[in-house]
Amino acid sequence: MAGGVKRVASVVTRRVGNFYHLNFLGLAFGLYGYFLALTPTLMPRNAFYLGLIAGLGFAIGYGIGVLVSYIWRWLRVPEPTPAIKSQTWRTALPLFAMLIITFGFEAASWQNEVRLLVGEEPLDGASIGNVVWVSFVTLTVVLLVSRLIRGLTHIIKRQVAKVRILPRKLVTLLSVGIVSALLVMVFNGVFVDSFKDFANKTYSTANDRDKPGVEPVTSSLRSGGPDSAVSWHSLGREGRSFVATGPSQADIAEFTGREAAEPIRVYAGYLSAETLQERAALAVEELERTGAFDRQILVVMTATGSGWIEPQTADALEYMWGGDSALVTIQYSYLPSWMSLIFNQKDATDAGRLLFEAVYERWSQLPEDERPKLIAYGLSLGSFGSQAAFSSASDYLQRTDGALYAGTPSFAEPWKRFTTDRDSGSPQILPVYQDGQTLRFAATIDDIMSTEPGPWGQPRVLYLQHPSDPVVWWNPDLILQKPDWLSETRGYDVSPRMQWYPFITFIQVTIDQFFGVDVPNGHGHNYPPTIVNAWRAVTQPDNWTDAENAKLQELINQYERS
């Protein structure tokens, strides 16, 4: 019995040893990738995600090392003798172990520096200790997948080699090509499609459920209410929340101490009409019904992927304008923004463009002195979608009375062009475009109120973007190209020790995006602390005092995150 157990243990030990038998160059490059992945980035990370990134960093480095080793042998370059290899392993392993321990402590210091910059509590020693096992599990999974792929490649290679007329090297290239094509087909046809179907079913169900405290509206000035052409159910989860919440006429009057109007909120949900164009037309019909074109200000809002509009932003505008306002948006998806970006990116831009053009067409027919201020707005993916309606700074001048965008993704146009063509000497995190005559970029209240670089004309377009917002700075170019924002002086909430590394920085910032709203307000992807001053700068309400501004911002700061 004991002998059988020993034999089983021996077999298991041998197979585990074979599985973790690593290529020396792969190990060296892998450890380098592991160390780089622990370096600070935009967002603080908990031990799990720090370990996940470190494991992926090791996998990337290991893959590069194995590739170098393969090319070395493929070129038939002489290799070191077995004795030299053995001595190298004996010398390197203790060194690698020492480096892992050293960088573990250094990683704790880096993470706590990032946490301090964004106002979070530091990590403890136990959290850092968890990084090692998470990264080990990640590496194991990557190794398992790579070994399966390698095994499949060998099977294909044996079949291709049966064609005797093919040279050996061509057989290898063909085998790799066939396996790569198969993997792409399986990934797209099985994984992506299955995940998309699962996500649609899951979030369509969530779209039918109400948020706590949301009740059907009784006001005719809200979509889904009496006389509305939009049914309550068709508004969806976010639409019902949007029209059922916000300050009432009495709330606004109490806050301002003056007579107030009841704000208008118009929404066309994903189920309100079959196409985006029909939803846009329905929204304009609702604006007509509610008398929105008789208000002082009309804001065309492009929602995030799920159809969400940030309550702080909507409420702040209504308080500031005494309720004499109208807000309008349509839903183009019920998926979270990151899924909408992958599966429905065109819907976001189409929604922003079609809604603004439909509203603008009706608005432009009104006499200039009788129509409301027309403002465009978007947050995150909503900013990406809203900007699709405009081609240039002059387009904003001709067709709006202003625009406000927050946390704009780096691939949005025309934001990308404004940033690329910024005035010489201005940084990427706060560019100056055409002397700031129409467009301004701001991260703080001081930036918004600054008189630099010169006079700010009308209408005004304002982009809010924090130096630490990963949504703004994520870009596929990070894979192989160092961005200007890491070549220039770091922003106020970005570690000066953050550096760019090929592939690694791309993975770091990609994962950072999922934590952009988990940090305190004023950092990452959270913009409520500047929203009141932003609205004031863009919309320029009459008789709005500094005291009222401060009082409203204090109120907005008390909102809980939704």
Higher pLDDT, 134 or 279: 279
What per-residue confidence (pLDDT) applies to 106? 76
Higher pLDDT, 137 or 114: 114
3-class secondary structure, 347: helix
Which residue is associated with the tokens 């909120």?
A: 265
3-class secondary structure, 79: coil
Across 220-236, average pLDDT: 96
Q: For 334-344, what is each residue's pLDDT tens digit?
A: 888 888 877 77
Burial class (CB in 10 A: 0-12, 13-18, 19+), 504: buried
Rounded to whole angstroms, how far apart are CA atoms 544 and 342?
A: 42
In this model, does residue 100 exceed pLDDT 50? Answer: yes
Please state whether the predicted TM-score (pTM) of the whole model is above 0.75.
Answer: yes
Which are the contacts of 132, defined by CB distance < 8 A and separation ≥ 6? 51, 100, 104
What does the mean pLDDT of the chain come to? 87
Rounded to whole angstroms, how far apart are CA atoms 316 and 557?
A: 11
Which residue is associated with the tokens 């202003």?
A: 402
What per-residue confidence (pLDDT) applies to 448? 97
What per-residue confidence (pLDDT) applies to 21? 60
Torsion of CA 379, 385, 388, 390, to 10 degrees: -30
The one-letter amino acid at 420: T
Rounded to whole angstroms, how far apart are CA atoms 284 and 268?
A: 10
Instruction: Report which of 366, 236, 184 is spatially closest to residue 292, judged by C-alpha positions.
Output: 366
The one-letter amino acid at 198: F
DSSP states of 443-484 as a string? Answer: SSHHHHH---SS---SSEEEEE--TT-HHHH--GGGGT---G
Q: What is the band of 16 on the pLDDT scale with cuts at 50, 70, 90?
A: very low
**Residue 299 CB coordination number (10 Å):** 29
**Residue 79 CB coordination number (10 Å):** 11
Which are the contacts of 58, defined by CB distance < 8 A and separation ≥ 6? 30, 31, 33, 34, 37, 135, 138, 139
In this model, does residue 562 exceed pLDDT 70? Answer: no
Q: What is the band of 458 on the pLDDT scale with cuts at 50, 70, 90?
A: very high
What per-residue confidence (pLDDT) applies to 8? 43
Q: For 379-432, what is each residue's pLDDT tens digit?
A: 999 999 999 999 999 999 999 999 999 999 999 999 999 999 999 999 999 999
Rounded to whole angstroms, how far apart are CA atoms 385 and 349?
A: 4
What per-residue confidence (pLDDT) applies to 15? 46
Rounded to whole angstroms, how far apart are CA atoms 226 and 241?
A: 17
What per-residue confidence (pLDDT) applies to 197? 74
What per-residue confidence (pLDDT) applies to 237? 95
Dihedral class, residue 413 (left if φ above 0, else alpha if ψ from -120 to 50, else beta)? beta
